[in-house]
Structure 1
C-alpha cells in the first residue's frame, strides 16, 4: 500500500486560488494533490481560523483522511489566497507564526491521570503553572532545551515541571535506560537531568551505567530496584503511547500551560516562559 507523505504536498504545491471561496479552493487543490501522491478516495476539510493582522495571510487547519492514509492527517498552514506557506517569520520578533498560532489553537490538555504518569521533577502538584517537557536524554536538542529552560526558570515560582519520557529507542540505544534512571532518581528525591544530558561514556554496559548513578544516591539498592521494576517500564510505555496519541514525531516538545512548542525553538519557549 502506497504511503502518502503529506509533507511532500506542503513542500511542492503552489496553490493558485482566489480569496472568494478560499476554503473550497484549498480543499479541492489539496485533494487533487493527495490523489497525485497516491491517496485513494481522500477527504479533505479546511477550517479558516484567523487572518494575520495587517496581512492578507490566513491561518488554516487542514484535516485529511483516505482509504490508504494510515493515520488521519492534521496540519496547520498559512495561505495568502495564492500560495500555501510552510511558515512566515515575523521580522520584529523572529517568531515563526505557524508555531505561534498552532500553540494558540492546538492547546494540549493533560488530565490528572496523565500528569501522574509523568515525572514531577520541579515544583509542586497543583501549582498555578504547568510545564511538561517531552524528552529523550540522548537528544542533543533536548539538551539545549533543558539548559535554556533551566536558565529561564531560575527566578520563576509557582510552577510544576514534569518530564514526559519519550525515548527514541531505534536511534538512541541508551535512551530508555536514561529514562529509567531519571524516574528512579526522582522517586528518591534526586534530579539527574544535568548528568544524563551530559553523560559521555555511552559505550559502557547498562549495568555499569546503572551502578554509576546508583552510587550517587544514599540508597543504591533501592534505586536499582526502582529503575529495573515493571512499574517503571510501564510508566515509560504509557508515556510513549501518550506521545503517539499527541502526534509526537520527535523531541523535544515543550508544553507551557497547554501551549505546545515542537522542536528546539528558543524564541517561542522564551516567550511562553516569560508569560509565567
Structure 2
C-alpha cells in the first residue's frame, strides 16, 4: 500500500483555530518561495474545511499554482498556516485523514449507466453504485463480500458492473462473459463467480504436468488456460435451464462486445486497476473499506 506518512507536530496549546489570516501566511510564504525562481508564479490557498472538531488549529485546503495566469497545478493539504502536510494517519485505525477529506470534497462524476448491467438493487433507486471489477482480483472479492453484507438490508440503490479483467488473471475475461450471459438469461452468478477459485485449479493442473515431466511453455500454459475456461463455462452452464444456449451465448460476439464496452468505459475514466468504485458519482480507488462503509452508510 502506497501511503505517505508524515510526522506533524501539533501545537494545539498555541493554536485555537485555523483562521483565514493563518492561511494568508501560508499563501504569502509559498508566494515568496516561488518568487525566488524568477518565474511569474502566483499561489492561491482556498480553505475547503476547518478541521477544528477533529484537529484543532488545522484546515483542509486546496493550493492552486498559476504560471503566467495559467493554472498549472492543484494540490490539497492539511495545514495550520505555517506547517502543511500531504496526509495525517490515524495511529489507531491506520486510516488516512486526507482520503476521507478527498472523498468528502470529491468531484461528482456523471456516469452513463444505460448500457451497464444492473447486478443488484433497482434501476429507479436514488443511490447509484458503479463497481469496476475483475472476478479474479483478490481485493475485488473482498469488496463484493462487503457489498453483499452491507447492502443486504438496503433497497434504495442500483449497483452496476463495469468489467476490467486484468491480463494477470487468466480466467477473468471468460468469467466476465459468463456473468453477462447469465444475467441475460435471468441467472445472477455474481457472488458465485467471486467466490470461485479457478486459480487453484490452474495451479493444480500445473503441478500435475510438472509431476508428469511435461515441459511448461507459453503454448502449454495457453492450452491449460483454455481447458480451465471451458471447465468454468461448463460449471456455470450446468446451473442454468438451457446449458447449450448458455454456452453459445457466453462465446458470442454480442457478449464479448458487451464486456469490451464496459472496459472502454473504465479506460475513459482513467482507471487501469481494480477494484474501483463510483458511489453516487464519487470515486473510491482500491479496496478502501473505511471509505466504502462511509459511503454506504448514507444509503437506506
| TM-score bucket (shorter structure) | 0.7 to 0.9
> In the alignment, what sits opposite 2:213?
none
SS in structure 2 opposite 1:78?
Answer: strand
* Contact 1:94/1:267 (8 A) holds in 2: no
Give the corresponding residue for 1:69. none
CA distance in 2, matches of 1:76, 1:59: 7
Whole-Å separation in 2 of the counterparts to 1:65 and 1:198: 50
Matched residue SS, 1:116: coil
Q: TM-score, normalised by structure 2?
A: 0.67
- Separation (CA, whole Å) in 2 of partners of 1:135 and 1:128: 22
Distance 1:104 1:217 in 2: 43
Q: Give the structure 1 partner of residue 58 of structure 2.
A: 57
- How far 1:29 moved relative to its partner? 7.4
Pick from 264, 269, 279 the counterpart of residue 241 of structure 1. Answer: 264
Q: In the TM superposition, what whole-angstrom CA distance separates every residue of 1:44-93 from its partner, at most 9, and x where no partner exists?
A: 98755333234343434568999xxxxx98764434442332344396x8
Structure 1 pair 215–270 and aligned structure 2 pair: CA distance change class (3 A): same
* Unaligned runs of at least 5 residues, structure 1: 1-6, 33-41, 67-71
Indicate the SS of the match to 1:86: coil
Give the whole-Å Cα distance in 1 for the aligned partners of 2:187 and 2:272.
29
Alignment partners' CA distance in 1, 2:194 and 2:270: 24
1:224 equivalent in structure 2: 247
CA contact (8 A) 2:284 2:291 kept: yes
Deviation at 1:141, TM superposition (A): 1.0
What TM-score, normalized to structure 1?
A: 0.72
> In the alignment, which residue of structure 1 is the partner of 2:104?
104
Deviations 1:1-58 (A, max 9, x none): xxxxxx89x789x9xxx8435357668979x9xxxxxxxxx99987553332343434
Q: How many residues end up aligned between the 2 structures?
A: 249
Give 1:136's aligned residue.
134
Superposed, 1:1-276 pairs within 5 Å as 19-20=23-24, 22-23=26-27, 48-54=47-53, 55-61=56-62, 76-81=76-81, 82-89=83-90, 96-111=96-111, 114-169=112-167, 171-202=168-199, 203=202, 205=226, 206-276=229-299
How far apart are residue 115 of structure 1 and its match?
Answer: 0.7
Gaps of 5+ in 2: 9-21, 203-224
The separation in 2 between residues aligned to 1:234 and 1:56, in whole angstroms, is: 54
Aligned to 2:12: none
